[in-house]
A and B are shown apart, each in its own frame.
Chain A
Amino acid sequence: MNYLARRLMTFPLVMLGVSVLVFVSIRLVPGDAITAMLGTEAGLLTPDQRAALEAYFGIDQGWFTQYWRWLAGAVQGDLGVSVTFGKPVLDVILERFPLTLELALLSMVIALAIGLPAGIFAATRNEKPSDLAVRIFAMIGQSTPNFVFALLAIYVLSVGFGVLPAMGEFTPFLENPLRNLGQMILPALTLGFAFAAAVTRISRSAMLDILSDDYIRTARAKGVPARKVIWRHALPNALIPVVTLSGVEFGYLLGGTVIVEQIFALPGLGRMVLDAILQRDYALVQGSVLFIALNFMIVNLLVDLAYAMLDPRIRLGAK
């Protein structure tokens, strides 16, 4: 049995584990959902009213029944009703997801556009001052927490240029693309900066490894121009670790970025989950964590597939 088939088989098992873990852990949070929702007014509820509310949100029975009912629903795409939003969990998630997806895509584009050329450039100038400069820059990028970058960027923009990042009401891309990009560019740069640093480091070291391979020496000896050696012979193989890294990183970004969303006041998945945990919105926490974990695992699976496509040795080995 090959690797991918085995991955596909453990997939449902891990998802089941995730669902149990999130179900149990959110129920370990002290306090109950009804009180969290109504605040002090919860004290005014008669026992009957409270029971009716609990029945409506499906939290009136034992844990096992609740879990079973939730799981049966989840398999059919019904994740229950959010206590805080008063609508189906899936609707709430799908409202927030486009923003998170757009942010993740923008960050990845920025990261690849900066990191890949920088890494290749540094590899071809190995141990020269320009290589060192790229490496120092990448190391600093990797060591800067995104909230530090975000705050410094806001500070430089507002004090140095008198520009405040466009916050306030969020505009979806389809409504007004320009306004939307104006709001998204700084958060995307914030996330893309550390991401670019990681891409630079990995593409540099992958390129260096490959440039010392025999087949590159052969190509050079044959008189293939240096440019062609880099772009045509070395790059396709150097891309393999870059694809893996970018995929995993992209998967993380799809889970929402709590801190960056918080700083830039963006209504994305990350902030939604944070609020849902604080509000003890059981259904919303369960649904969104399951959604995020599913995304993450699908992206990882796709990365493995891309890996097999880029590396013919893996394809041959599978046969």
Chain B
Amino acid sequence: MQLLRAIFSHSSGRIGGAIVGLYIIIAILGLLGITPHDPLMQFRVDRLHAPDATYWMGTDLFGRDVASRLMLGISQSFIVAFASVALAAVAGIVLGLAAAWFGGWWDGTIMRFMDVLLAFPAILLALLIIAIVGPGTWTSVMAIAIVYTPIFTRVVRGPALSLKTRDFVDAARTFGSSRNYILTRHLMLNLVAPLTVQVTLALAWGLLTEAGLSFLGLGTQPPASSLGLMLADSRNLMEMAPWLLIFPGIAIMIGILGFNLLGDALRDILDPRTRRSVA
């Protein structure tokens, strides 16, 4: 609650929060099928229809309503972004905590493996994974999650290493607290702040990557809808039907902008070094 208040008294947090909130509502509506038209319905007589009162954002080459497909696409992109970031965060927390807590051989092995993953250009790593498993929604989730795991691992390991040597952890040990109790209660709670920031920024990146993979035809497969797929379809029609390009393009931009603004605001609020007197 306090955090929400802090976000809303932060100028870019307010805008970012509002955008993200709006997109989440659109995504839920899209998922529930509450769209102006059926996103898969082909209105043959109204192919490439310009935006008007019936088709708010026009129709595509098959006469499908762009606004409805956009809503479905946003929910699709959000599912992929949230699922992959959640997976990456969990994997990163487990690996980062293990590396920091056990140290030595564990630390060396985990962190060198993360270095190997980081030495791959992100999109290439994702392409390789997709080539192995075959394109599709859940492959994108896995690919994005694997690409993002090393970053979360580093975000967790650094602070966890310094927390481990703090007096309150020693104190908890002398009380006889179990290892898992210390890890979850004492370390994890102190990592919530950096993780929140990282998760928000990762979501922006997840949206971007999902759209990029779908654009290449390697993510979401038709007839399902995705923002990247809609953009790929608009390429050859942009002069005839610019609405096919403009609406999905702006929708991706604003969505990513929302998460970036929110992430920046959270960093200002949660990072003690830049914390202002907002809270």
Contacts and interface: CB of A to CB of B under 8 A. Distances in A.
B112 A13 contact: yes
Contact of B253 (A25, A145, A273): A145
Interface residues of A, number: 45
B120 A148 contact: no
A312 to B, nearest CB: 23
A277 B235 contact: no
B28 interface: no
B38 interface: no
Contacts of B113: 17
A262 interface: yes
Contacts of A296: 119, 121
Contacts of B257: 139-140, 143
A143 B242 CA distance: 21
A14 B112 contact: yes
A14 B116 contact: yes
A149 to B, nearest CB: 9
B160 interface: no
Contacts of B264: 139
Interface stretch (B91-99, B127-135, B165-173, B174-182): B127-135
Contacts of B115: 10, 14, 17
Contacts of A94: none
A148 B216 CA distance: 13
A10 B115 CA distance: 10
B245 interface: yes
B4 interface: no
Contacts of A255: 121, 124
Interface string A119-163: 000000000000000000001101111011001101100110000
A315 B73 CA distance: 52
Contacts of B127: 258, 273-274, 277
Given A143-B204, A148-B252, A289 B124 contact: yes
A148 B132 contact: no
Contacts of A144: 253, 256
Contacts of B238: 151, 154-155, 158
A29 B212 contact: no
Given A148-B231, A255-B121, A289-B120, A277 B216 contact: no
A278 interface: yes
Top 4 closest pairs, chain A to chain B, by CB: A255-B121, A17-B116, A143-B257, A143-B256
25 contacts: A14-B115, A14-B116, A17-B113, A18-B116, A21-B116, A26-B128, A139-B261, A142-B260, A143-B256, A144-B253, A145-B253, A147-B211, A151-B234, A154-B238, A255-B121, A259-B215, A259-B216, A263-B235, A273-B127, A274-B216, A277-B127, A289-B124, A292-B120, A292-B121, A293-B120
Given A10-B112, A26-B128, A262-B216, 18 more contacts: A14-B116, A14-B119, A17-B112, A17-B115, A17-B116, A29-B131, A145-B253, A145-B256, A148-B249, A151-B238, A152-B245, A259-B215, A259-B216, A263-B235, A270-B123, A277-B131, A285-B128, A293-B119
Interface of A: 10, 13-15, 17-18, 21-22, 25-26, 28-30, 139-140, 142-145, 147-148, 151-152, 154-155, 158-159, 252, 255-256, 258-259, 262-263, 270, 273-274, 277-278, 285, 289, 292-293, 296-297
